[in-house]
């Protein structure tokens, strides 16, 4: 019998998050509509996620005052979203 690991490309599990689960905003797309989802973001030890301090004031004064992380995520996510869109967007809501 052939060694299955020999034919498997190397996989760095630290690069892929596979625990997209319940409670997230995208649960309906994954679990009910069967659509692929991606969960992009930045992580860190800032300690205010889902606390009473997780608001615009904290972010604009302490967390990311220049909104550099927001800009970086937008610049990363926007081209990815457009590249994965099945048809060209023409600015209208009709198909």
pLDDT at residue 68, rounded to an integer: 95
**Every domain of the chain and the residues it spans:** 18-84
19/17: higher pLDDT: 19
Give whole-number Cα distances, 21 to 2, 4, 64, 75, 76, in Å. 35, 29, 27, 25, 23
Q: Are 48 and 58 within 8 A, CB to CB?
A: yes
- 3-state DSSP helix/strand/coil percent for the chain, to nearest 5? 40, 0, 60
Of 40, 48, 25, whose CA–CA distance to 74 is shortest?
40
**Which residue carries 């800009």 as its tokens?**
71
Q: What is the pLDDT of residues 31-80, one digit of tens each?
A: 667 667 777 777 777 677 778 888 899 889 988 999 998 999 999 889 98
Cut 0.85: pTM above it? no
């Amino acid at each position: 019998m052939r060694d299955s690991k020999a034919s498997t490309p190397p996989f760095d599990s630290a690069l892929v998050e596979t625990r997209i689960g319940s409670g997230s905003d995208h649960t309906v797309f994954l679990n009910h509509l069967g659509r692929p989802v991606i969960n992009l973001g930045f992580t860190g030890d800032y300690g205010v996620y889902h606390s009473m301090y997780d608001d615009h004031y904290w972010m604009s004064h302490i967390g990311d005052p220049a909104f550099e992380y927001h800009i970086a995520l937008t610049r990363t996510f926007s081209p990815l979203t457009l590249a994965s869109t099945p048809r060209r967007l023409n600015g209208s809501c009709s198909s």
